[in-house]
Structure 1
């Protein structure tokens, strides 16, 4: 391009010296036109480069925010894992020492029951960590899933939590309901939500009740777990899906369960909502799109 301009300027000088005005005007016009086009091309190219840089900067800023969030969660995760693992272990060690030294069967039985409670809590915490790890590192496996069968598996495994109060369990889910999704992840969601309904049931009520409803259409699976339990305070509703958050002073869980549920629902490109009123109960509603 520079050679073209130099040639144009040289020709213009020659035309001036030879007094060829008309040809000079034509050559000058061509040179200025090409020059203007060249400037426009440079400006458009620069604009495109600037836009690419801006897009890259925006993308980089977003990734930095995500990385900061991950680092914050990792710090919290490491602290809480060490704390929540060491707590039950320290309790078990102390109780074992009491049993070893005790000469009272009643005291020994009491300590053994406490040890059992601590091991169950420890097992639940480890299971939550494993579920969280599997969800983040394993691919989605799509298969036909019999939803009622999974619900039956979950409720059967939780019958021991009924204690001395009969909980009314209502299952409104067709036996023949089959849905294309990830079976393992769906079971984790249902296990956590139904388990929570059992844990936080209000035993002061004459008829403790848990209701599981599910339905599907061509595009999605919808299900809800509703109870008339102790409920969640309105100030806690927005926080219950945060890592290690415990919603009430009666919380007996790890604080990871609902966080795991939300992470899995997001992985399946679904949605989860909660409605709750203190002393009245809670309802968790989940929508999961069908996977090809």
Structure 2
């Protein structure tokens, strides 16, 4: 009688001894009725006493026996177990064994086994950095499992797909996959399932809430957190109860429901302290500080920041957001020097974390390369084994054909030489393939950048014609309505032209090396101002320029023009129409290591909620924004290319100030 599914159900504790609940229950086996429990117990007892290499030998022997008895389903399931054991020491070895199980399950139409092997293969691919192939494997597993009655495995496959999509910032796709998974049962039915399934369903609703939060769907996020809380309370899981409650508090804080948010955050703080979850403790202190800052209770906010600082320093935590948020509080309290110092610390930590992320990405890429290389090596070994089998046949012929000993010895030498040549050839082909893929990737990036540049350049031609026709039409026509229509067409064309021009600037900033020359700063500023034509008088804006006529700096004048143009254009966009005299001020100061420019305006200002995102491409932080969200992105990128940095803050009288500091190398 078949035994394998019952065997797999409990043998996972052998394969992953010491792992967490969610890991140890990642194999989901259907109803075990009708399976040979006695055989399973015996085999399990044997495996429990063996080392990995001994367990591999035993399973290979048992697979051979099951195939001899034509118990093919059992053999396939044992291959899956063997693949998971091999994965302990080599992802590639485990993956290849699972591929054998998939091929055989597909041939024999064992849908459950096929889905299970595809699911485990996807997990190996994901751990090796092959996200696209992992998703493909998960989707195939989902398709096969949907044709069975195994709902637990189907949920886990959906859960894996959702987590993969979430880690790639595909929040809508992650949400859809997670919803498909949890809809298999009702909430009441899930609460009757095994504990490990309840745990993962609780995590699934928490992740769905995070997806809604990323899409700023706050009410939906709260609804999902409430369901996650039902499972935490049913499992009497105090830690998760506090975690989810705190997550709800963070959402309410963003909705400015401050009283309720404070109650939930205080509860989360209490539980996090109890379980010594210090990262959660520090993050909750920061949220409570932000909550009191919103209420203009600055002294109380500072106390919570001090508590967060103590937890961070006591536990060697890295939490850059502490310096960012405390900098924002210092701005509001008009402690500008402190705010700038804190912001500089945040920028340094952000750069450091970016470097760490790049190192991790490189390590994952290296792991991926090793995984692929091992797969190729295993394939070479398989070919080599075939050659060795052929070699063995040749030896037998030598033994039984004494008269042909000399001839067969020569033939055997030829086979060995060819085998070595084949191995060398295959290794070289593998190296060439890796080099080819690397070159192809670099070429694709370059082609994309060039395509965007040329597309922007080509689109600007007809727009320039439209702008000229607008000017000509308003000159010829005497009808006010027609002139108004021409003016609107011209205005739209100019907006599109500015956007395409900025796309061209992005290409130039990315590809061109700055040409540093001795530059008269006053001349550059005046050239930029002249480019705005009559905009200053049309918008009734007063321009104040404090730049010495003879100030010479080392810079690239084209990059500097780009920076100043975008900052002045940004000031025009956010002018405060309620003020009698809009003012834009441009000043320059020498520093110990170089020089800096300060550009300020008394417009509507930058709200603290969006200040951290104003340099993101295509981000528009206000409904009154007429731009395309590329101006400040270009400012920061070009400033960095000139080895400088940009800092923004609110001035003494509420004006928006951008400080660009450049250093002489």
* TM-score with structure 1 setting the length: 0.63
Deviation, structure 1 residue 106: 3.7
Give 3-state SS (helix, strand or coil) of 1:285's partner. strand
Residue 564 of structure 2 is aligned to residue 190 of structure 1: yes
Q: Superposed, which structure 2 residues align to 1:232-247 within 5 Å?
A: 232-247=606-621
Residue 552 of structure 2 is aligned to residue 169 of structure 1: no
Give 3-state SS (helix, strand or coil) of 1:234's partner. coil
Question: Structure 2 vs 1, CA of residues 270 and 163 (structure 1 numbering), >3 Å: closer, same or farther?
Answer: same
Match of 2:601 among 215, 227, 232: 227
Give 3-state SS (helix, strand or coil) of 2:584's partner. strand
Taking the aligned partners of 1:113 and 1:57, their CA distance within structure 2 comes to: 53
Deviations along 1:35-66, one digit per CA (max 9) or x if unpaired, are xxxxxxxxxxxxxxxxxxxxx974714889xx
Match of 1:283 among 653, 657, 660: 657
In structure 1, the partner of 2:519 is 145
In structure 2, the partner of 1:273 is 647
In structure 2, the partner of 1:251 is 625
In structure 2, the partner of 1:264 is 638
Question: Structure 2 vs 1, CA of residues 141 and 218 (structure 1 numbering), >3 Å: closer, same or farther?
Answer: farther
Question: Structure 2 vs 1, CA of residues 220 and 57 (structure 1 numbering), >3 Å: closer, same or farther?
Answer: closer
Deviations along 1:215-254, one digit per CA (max 9) or x if unpaired, are 2246212011011011111111000000001121111112
The question of whether the paired residues in 2 share the 8 Å contact of 1:165 and 1:203 is answered with no
The question of whether the paired residues in 1 share the 8 Å contact of 2:616 and 2:633 is answered with yes
Select the structure that is richer in helix.
Answer: 2
Query: Which stretch shows the higher mean deviation, 162-171 or 226-235?
Result: 162-171
Residue 120 of structure 2 is aligned to residue 120 of structure 1: no
Residue 60 of structure 2 is aligned to residue 60 of structure 1: no
Taking the aligned partners of 1:240 and 1:186, their CA distance within structure 2 comes to: 20
In structure 2, the partner of 1:154 is 528
Match of 2:583 among 188, 194, 209: 209
Question: Structure 2 vs 1, CA of residues 150 and 111 (structure 1 numbering), >3 Å: closer, same or farther?
Answer: same
In structure 1, the partner of 2:82 is none
Question: Structure 2 vs 1, CA of residues 57 and 206 (structure 1 numbering), >3 Å: closer, same or farther?
Answer: closer
Taking the aligned partners of 1:235 and 1:189, their CA distance within structure 2 comes to: 24
Deviation, structure 1 residue 105: 3.5
The question of whether the paired residues in 1 share the 8 Å contact of 2:536 and 2:543 is answered with no
Runs of 4+ in 1 over 6 A off after TM superposition: none
Deviation, structure 1 residue 164: 4.3
The question of whether the paired residues in 2 share the 8 Å contact of 1:232 and 1:281 is answered with no
Question: Structure 2 vs 1, CA of residues 241 and 61 (structure 1 numbering), >3 Å: closer, same or farther?
Answer: farther
In structure 1, the partner of 2:55 is none
Deviations along 1:189-223, one digit per CA (max 9) or x if unpaired, are 11111221122221321221111111224621201
The question of whether the paired residues in 2 share the 8 Å contact of 1:225 and 1:283 is answered with yes
Question: Structure 2 vs 1, CA of residues 107 and 156 (structure 1 numbering), >3 Å: closer, same or farther?
Answer: same
Residue 509 of structure 2 is aligned to residue 135 of structure 1: yes
Taking the aligned partners of 1:259 and 1:158, their CA distance within structure 2 comes to: 20
Residue 554 of structure 2 is aligned to residue 180 of structure 1: yes
Taking the aligned partners of 1:110 and 1:186, their CA distance within structure 2 comes to: 36
The question of whether the paired residues in 1 share the 8 Å contact of 2:536 and 2:542 is answered with no
Taking the aligned partners of 1:230 and 1:163, their CA distance within structure 2 comes to: 19
**Structure 2: which 5+ residue stretches go unaligned?**
1-357, 367-440
Taking the aligned partners of 2:645 and 2:525, their CA distance within structure 1 comes to: 19
Question: Structure 2 vs 1, CA of residues 230 and 58 (structure 1 numbering), >3 Å: closer, same or farther?
Answer: closer
